Amino acid sequence: MADKKKPKRTKEDKDEDLPFKSILESDEAILKLLKSYISSSLTAAGSSGASSSSSSKPLTLADLSLSSSCREVADLSLSSVQTEIETVIVQIARSILAGDGFSFSVPSRAASNQLYVPELDRIVLKDKSTLRPFASVSSVRKTTITTRILALIHQLCLRNIHVTKRDLFYTDVKLFQDQTQSDAVLDDVSCMLGCTRSSLNVIAAEKGVVVGRLIFSDNGDMIDCTKMGMGGKAIPPNIDRVGDMQSDAMFILLVEKDAAYIRLAEDRFYNRFPCIIVTAKGQPDVATRLFLRKMKMELKLPVLALVDSDPYGLKILSVYGCGSKNMSYDSANLTTPDIKWLGIRPSDLDKYKIPEQCRLPMTEQDIKTGKDMLEEDFVKKNPGWVEELNLMVKTKQKAEIQALSSFGFQYLSEVYLPLKLQQQDWL
Amino acid sequence: MAGGDSPAETKKGSSKTSKNSKESTLKQKSPAEFFAENKNIAGFDNPGKSLYTTVRELVENALDSSESISELPEVEVTIEEIGKSKFNSMIGLIDRERVDTKLYDDYETDKAREKRLVKEARASEIQAKNLASGKKNKEPGVSRVLKARGEASYYKVTCRDNGKGMPHDDIPNMFGRVLSGTKYGLKQTRGKFGLGAKMALIWSKMSTGLPIEISSSMKSQNYVTFCRLDIDIHRNIPHIHLHEKKANKEKWHGAEIQVVIEGNWTTYRSKILHYMRQMAVITPYAQFLFRFISETPEKNVTVKFTRRTDVMPPIPIETKHHPSSVDLLLIKRLVTDTSKKTLLQFLQNEFVNINKNLAARLIGEMGPDFSPGMAVKSVTSQQMVRIHQLFRQAKFDDPSGDCLSPAGEYNLRLGIIKELHPDMVATHSGSAQVFEGHPFIVEAGVSVGGRDVKQGINIFRFANRIPLLFEQGGDVVTRTALKRINWNSYKINQTQDKIGVFVSIVSTKIPFKGTGKEYIGDDISEIATAVKSAIQQCCIQLKSKIVKRLQAREQQERKRSLSRYIPDATGAVYEVLKQMTEEHTKKRKRYKEEETAMLEKVSKLIITKETLKEKLAEHVEQVDYEMALEYATQSGVSEEPRENIYLQQLNPNHSNFIDLHSPTFVFRLIL
């Protein structure tokens, strides 16, 4: 790959059309820099060794003496899920037969029931529950749907098969009306039973893709992600299929968007700088988040994020890092700690002289989101992020990753990223 | 629109200031001439609008007149269509048949006629087909006869009131001289320009040349003045045809004004009717009778807006200027007009919110050239500028809203109920606020549902208690209602519900925008905020009513909506139980004791889908009963919306009642 690239580059530009190209050192020098950084960060982790590993690894909710108790779920085996459901159903049946109707006690997933725990650097769910009685006009629908979903999952447990969320929805379209309703109840159910969504044997359609220096087994088949063609390998929807991860990469590059991912994949960026490139094409799904966490935990690589320079880019970053409010009950399994914000950062707009016509004015909604994010704890904990976000809100300008294409389609992979790596410019 | 007989030569003359002219070509323009040439600023843009403006000027004058003597207004407006031949006979012109038909603009060429005939034949064919197929026929497209250019329609507009009337000798000058009024205090007034009927007179002079007829009688007079006059536009003086006293047989007082003008009823019909209806909303204490008399009787319109209350808002009080609202010119005029001698007295007496102490401080601030005792008439123009500047910068208390006369929440509410018959209505009256030294009060009403109300938001705007109908788009009320109110949060559906938004703003000076003074700009944040909060207050009131209504509906439908889900829920439960039973009998899984007990019942069909269903239905029944009981105790006696009724006052001359007394009530027979 590399020799194919070199002649192209030398003939294409003589350091003039691509700005900042001149500062760029040779790939070898950058690689050296990177290696030294990684080894130093590793030794740093190693030196604080016992304390850091013990604090990062086994630190759980139970270790913290939080004022309010929190709820977390665990992976459960199929049979224990089945038993849980059966217990619930028998209770319901008994209650009905006693003439008392029935009701579910569902943990509330509202924003007021969420808590950001700085020690864990993720959002967790507090223990507030709401009662969902059948005999109430406002909750009868949800209660019925919950009962129905419980019965359906019970069937899955008996047969030991996986279905998608879409499948589940189509089993009773008339009752569920639209998929958002059955999806929401599904999350309620996993929260109620105290298990992860994957342990309910319900999966979402494949969304994320991965390419680069990674080898893993998917349901027993060995996959080499450098040999998956340009598009890469779709991330398996259920993480239990994934194992035996191996890699010689130096870092993981998390990309917000498909377009930038395709650019990097086609340019075989991972061959120039050994890395693994992942994208969930926008808001990340559960599978991608689980996969990223697994990679981070098993391979112990730094994760660098390439997102748009707008409030939503940072929001996506936060979902990978601290979890979403919707699934905060499972944040322990879904979040990846210590993601570095590589770009595109608001300060890059001027630093890389991105032309005015490629920047977009932020809408009022954007600015409001930006200001709201400044209040969020996961932003506040990182002073660098606060600074960048403040700059964004102040300049009222945003830019997508694609804005870099104004210097040529390959500017991203040829100059921007290498330069970023060389300067170790991440927060 | 070069004004009919307003002199074209004036324009020519003034543009050609040649030295060899016979006389001074720089002619003075009379105020009447100015308005004749710029009639669009007074709302006389075209014949249709002129008809509308004439009606509104007359109606507003009538209301002002009745209110000034605290009489409940009774206004009769009649518009009579006058055909061309009738008009010609009125002015003494003999009808002439067209001889050279090709001379005219509406001449139909042979080709055009052919086309028209083909089209008509096709239309009738389709109609016949539809008839045959039994389809309901739509209104057959009436072939619209285009009104030819130059064929004007004429209307006689008559407006009769029970107001103050006018003094016999003043009538010619009141109508025949533009800007002859002396009303230059500061007061909340209906009129926008103070032109009133004069503009109608100028328009009639321009379009028909017919004089205006005025009958008037005052309370103390035993005669009726009748006056027929027109206006000499160039000299701006009345030209009296007839000015006489007649016997007043019916003890009538008030005025009746009759004017013949060119107009257009077809295009402005709905505007005029809207105007009358909205006027009835904001003035429910008045009685209006509106009649349109056409040459074809089936087009006649008669609308009566009856009185629903006898509570009239107080008459607005004339007030003095607020120092922060005056301009240089006004200071000059006040200085000239004042009867006060010294500067201190002048400041203290000619403005609101300046007391003696403050006046002295202000004079001290003006500099060494000023002293409290200096004669006010000796103030130079330069010094006036200093006073003006100080007025602009100094801090004064806000003027009070006491001088204003808002419609009142009660009247607004009555007006809305009377004219729209809404399902629900809420009104709110804000406190007085200030914009550039002028106090203003915003009142609002929001109604839901009703008769003749379109779906969505219907906006009714009032400024100083007259409706505003034109240029709705830019108005502060429209903008606020459409953009800044989140109707959803008040459980009101912006597109589905029939919403009426009524906002009445009164002020000593309404900051109108646009040439026709037809809307209030959206750029004044004081007014915009006041409007928004007034509407929101109404919405908050409505919300509780709407929520109550929704609850009532929920009460009725609860059992049904709960029962609908019974089969689904019990079905799912039973399904799991059955599976468990199967597992249990095949001994694939061990269950706890209490569970096995139940599973055995399932296998013996003691527990079936049906038993679950029945039991759950029983529970629903019970809950429904309990909740209904709770709702009943909570809401108390069922509250039907009470509606105020207005009883007409009895004729006090009637006193021969027969009273039938009982210990608990009196039954009175009115004969």
Separation CA B153–CA A62 (nearest Å): 91
Residue of B nearest to A103 (CA): B569
Give B574-607 as a DSSP string. Answer: HHHHHHHHHHHHTTSS---HHHHHHHHHHHTTSS
pLDDT for B7? 43
HSE toward the beta carbon, residue B306, CA cutoff 13 A:
7
Separation CA B462–CA B457 (nearest Å): 16
Separation CA A106–CA A217 (nearest Å): 37
Residue B75 DSSP SS3: strand
**Would you call A82 exposed, middle or buried from its count of C-beta atoms within 10 A (0-12, 13-18, 19+)?**
buried
Residue B159 DSSP SS3: strand
Q: A148–B622: do the CB atoms touch at under 8 Å?
A: no
Question: Which residue among B576, B611, B619 places its CB closest to the CB of A151?
Answer: B576
Q: For chain A, what's the residue count?
A: 427
Separation CA A265–CA A206 (nearest Å): 19
pLDDT at B289 over 80: yes
Query: Any chain B CB within 8 A of the CB of A85?
Result: yes
Element (H, E) at B132: helix B110-132
Residue B493 DSSP SS3: coil
Residue in A363, A9, A335, A327 with CA at minimum distance from that of residue A183: A327
List pLDDT tens digits, range B216-245. Answer: 998 888 899 999 988 888 888 888 899 999
Query: Any chain B CB within 8 A of the CB of A177?
Result: no
Do the Cβ atoms of B599 and A174 come closer than 8 Å?
no
Where are any strands of DSSP class E within A118-172? 122-126, 129-133, 163-164
Separation CA B408–CA B309 (nearest Å): 12
Query: Any chain B CB within 8 A of the CB of A150?
Result: yes
Pick the residue with more confidence: B384 or A66?
A: B384
Do the Cβ atoms of A85 and A153 come closer than 8 Å?
yes
Element (H, E) at B513: strand B512-513
- The mean per-residue pLDDT over the stretch B30-36 comes to 78
Query: Any chain B CB within 8 A of the CB of A141?
Result: yes
Query: Any chain B CB within 8 A of the CB of A12?
Result: no
Residue of B558, B576, B616 to mutate, interface with A, max A Cβ within 10 Å: B576
pLDDT at A11 over 90: no
Helix, strand, coil % over all residues of chain A, rounded to 5 = 55, 15, 30
How would you label A90-107 residue by residue, b for 16+ Cβ within 10 Å and e otherwise?
A: bebbebbbeebbbbbebb
Residues 6+ apart with CB under 8 A from B368: none
Cα separation of the two ends of chain B: 61
A164 DSSP β-pair partners: A203
Do the Cβ atoms of A313 and A365 come closer than 8 Å?
no
Residues of A within 8 A of B572 (CB-CB) are: 144, 147-148, 150-151
Residues of A within 8 A of B573 (CB-CB) are: 89, 92-93, 96, 147, 151
Residues 6+ apart with CB under 8 A from B43: B49, B50, B52, B53, B56, B199, B516
How would you label A193-226 residue by residue, b for 16+ Cβ within 10 Å and e otherwise?
A: bbbbbbbbbbbbeebbbbbbbbebeeeeeebebb
Distance (Å) from the alpha carbon of A92 to chain B's nearest alpha carbon? 8
Say whether B196 counts as a known binding-site residue: yes
Residue of A nearest to B554 (CA): A137
Cα separation of the two ends of chain A: 31
Residues of A within 8 A of B620 (CB-CB) are: 101, 134-135
Average pLDDT of chain A is 84
The alpha carbon of B147 is separated from its chain's Cα centroid by a whole number of angstroms, namely: 31
Secondary structure letter of residue B42 according to DSSP:
G
Residues 6+ apart with CB under 8 A from B116: B108, B143
Distance (Å) from the alpha carbon of A8 to chain B's nearest alpha carbon? 56
List pLDDT tens digits, range B549-581. Answer: 888 888 888 888 889 999 999 999 999 999 898
pLDDT at A52 over 50: no
Rounded to a whole number of angstroms, the CA Rg of chain B reads 36
Separation CA A77–CA A83 (nearest Å): 10
Say whether B161 counts as a known binding-site residue: yes
pTM to 2 decimal places: 0.62
Do the Cβ atoms of B483 and B164 come closer than 8 Å?
no
Separation CA B184–CA B464 (nearest Å): 17
Q: A99–B620: do the CB atoms touch at under 8 Å?
A: no
Q: Which two tokens stand for residue B365?
A: 């601030």
Residues of B within 8 A of A155 (CB-CB) are: 579
Percentage of chain B with pLDDT > 70? 86
Residue of B nearest to A86 (CA): B576
Q: What residue spans of B283-380 are helical by DSSP H? A: 328-337, 343-350, 356-366
> pLDDT confidence of A142, banded at 50, 70, 90?
very high
Question: Which residue among B554, B580, B619 places its CB closest to the CB of A135?
Answer: B619
Backbone angles phi, psi at A156, to 5 degrees: -60, -40
pLDDT at B307 over 90: no
Pick the residue with more confidence: B517 or B564?
A: B564
Tell me whether residue A352 is one of the annotated catalytic residues: no
Cα angle, residue B19 at apex, residues B15 and B23 outer, rounded to 5° = 85
pLDDT for B257? 92
Separation CA A395–CA A351 (nearest Å): 14
Separation CA A414–CA A267 (nearest Å): 9
List pLDDT tens digits, range B170-179. Answer: 888 888 777 6
Cα angle, residue B350 at apex, residues B348 and B354 outer, rounded to 5° = 40
Q: What is the torsional sign of CA A218, A221, A223, A229?
A: negative
The class of domain B413-638 in CATH terms is alpha beta
> pLDDT confidence of B161, banded at 50, 70, 90?
very high
Residue in B608, B580, B585 with CA at minimum distance from that of residue B595: B580
Residue with tokens 């009175």: B668
pLDDT at B271 over 60: yes
Residue of B nearest to A134 (CA): B562
pLDDT for B461? 93
Residue of A102, A142, A147, A159 to mutate, interface with B, max B Cβ within 10 Å: A147
Query: So what's the architecture of B323-393 in CATH?
Result: Orthogonal Bundle (1.10)
Fold classification of B31-89+152-305 (topology level): Heat Shock Protein 90 (3.30.565)
Secondary structure letter of residue B168 according to DSSP:
G
pLDDT at B671 over 70: no
Residue of A nearest to B579 (CA): A155
Say whether B61 counts as a known binding-site residue: yes
Say whether A425 counts as a known binding-site residue: no
Residues of A within 8 A of B563 (CB-CB) are: none
Separation CA A153–CA A160 (nearest Å): 10
How would you label B496-512 residue by residue, b for 16+ Cβ within 10 Å and e otherwise?
A: ebbbbbbbbbbbbbbbb
Largest interatomic CA distance in chain B: 128
HSE toward the beta carbon, residue B618, CA cutoff 13 A:
12
List pLDDT tens digits, range A311-365. Answer: 888 889 889 988 888 888 888 888 888 888 988 888 888 888 888 888 888 888 8
Residue in B317, B334, B207, B296 with CA at minimum distance from that of residue B260: B207
Say whether B182 counts as a known binding-site residue: yes
Distance (Å) from the alpha carbon of A63 to chain B's nearest alpha carbon? 34
Distance (Å) from the alpha carbon of B548 to chain A's nearest alpha carbon? 16
Say whether B373 counts as a known binding-site residue: no
Separation CA B173–CA B258 (nearest Å): 17
Q: Where are the domains of chain B?
A: 31-89+152-305, 323-393, 413-638
Give A96-129 as a DSSP string. Answer: HHTT---EEEEE--SGGGEEEETTTTEEEEES-E
Size of interface A-B (CB pairs under 8 A): 91
Cα angle, residue B669 at apex, residues B666 and B671 outer, rounded to 5° = 155
Separation CA A63–CA B623 (nearest Å): 45
Average pLDDT of chain B is 82
Residue of B568, B600, B611 to mutate, interface with A, max A Cβ within 10 Å: B568
Separation CA B475–CA B473 (nearest Å): 6
- The mean per-residue pLDDT over the stretch B444-459 comes to 90
Q: Which of residues 201-220 of A touch B (CB under 8 A)?
A: none
Domain architecture of chain A: domains with CATH? 70-203 (1.10.10.10), 207-423 (3.40.1360.10)
- The mean per-residue pLDDT over the stretch A239-246 comes to 86
Q: Which two tokens stand for residue B517?
A: 């003074």
The alpha carbon of A72 is separated from its chain's Cα centroid by a whole number of angstroms, namely: 18
Cα angle, residue A277 at apex, residues A276 and A283 outer, rounded to 5° = 135
HSE toward the beta carbon, residue B143, CA cutoff 13 A:
9
B213 DSSP β-pair partners: B228, B258
Query: Any chain B CB within 8 A of the CB of A90?
Result: yes
Question: Which residue among A94, A98, A150 places its CB closest to the CB of B572?
Answer: A150
pLDDT for B194? 57
Q: B573–A140: do the CB atoms touch at under 8 Å?
A: no
A340 DSSP β-pair partners: A304
Paired sense of beta strands B153-160 and B212-217, if any: unpaired
Residue with tokens 């109404």: B538
Q: A93–B619: do the CB atoms touch at under 8 Å?
A: no
Residue of A37, A170, A312, A411 marked catalytic? A170
Query: Any chain B CB within 8 A of the CB of A135?
Result: yes
pLDDT at A15 over 50: no
Residues 6+ apart with CB under 8 A from B129: none
Question: Which residue among B558, B572, B594 places its CB closest to the CB of A151?
Answer: B572
Percentage of chain A with pLDDT > 70? 89
Residue in A108, A88, A327 with CA at minimum distance from that of residue A196: A327
pLDDT for A145? 94
Residues on chain B bordering chain A, Cβ-to-Cβ distance under 8 angstroms: 554, 557-558, 561-562, 565, 568-570, 572-573, 575-577, 579-580, 583, 591, 594-595, 598, 607, 611-612, 615-616, 618-620, 622-624
Question: Which residue among A85, A93, A144 places its CB closest to the CB of B612?
Answer: A93
Residues of B within 8 A of A172 (CB-CB) are: 568
Query: Any chain B CB within 8 A of the CB of A137?
Result: yes
Residues of B within 8 A of A364 (CB-CB) are: none
Distance (Å) from the alpha carbon of B560 to chain A's nearest alpha carbon? 10
Instruction: Identify the weakest region by mean pLDDT among A161-170, A227-236, B67-76, B173-182.
Output: B173-182
Where are any strands of DSSP class E within B123-236? 153-160, 212-217, 223-232
The alpha carbon of B592 is separated from its chain's Cα centroid by a whole number of angstroms, namely: 77
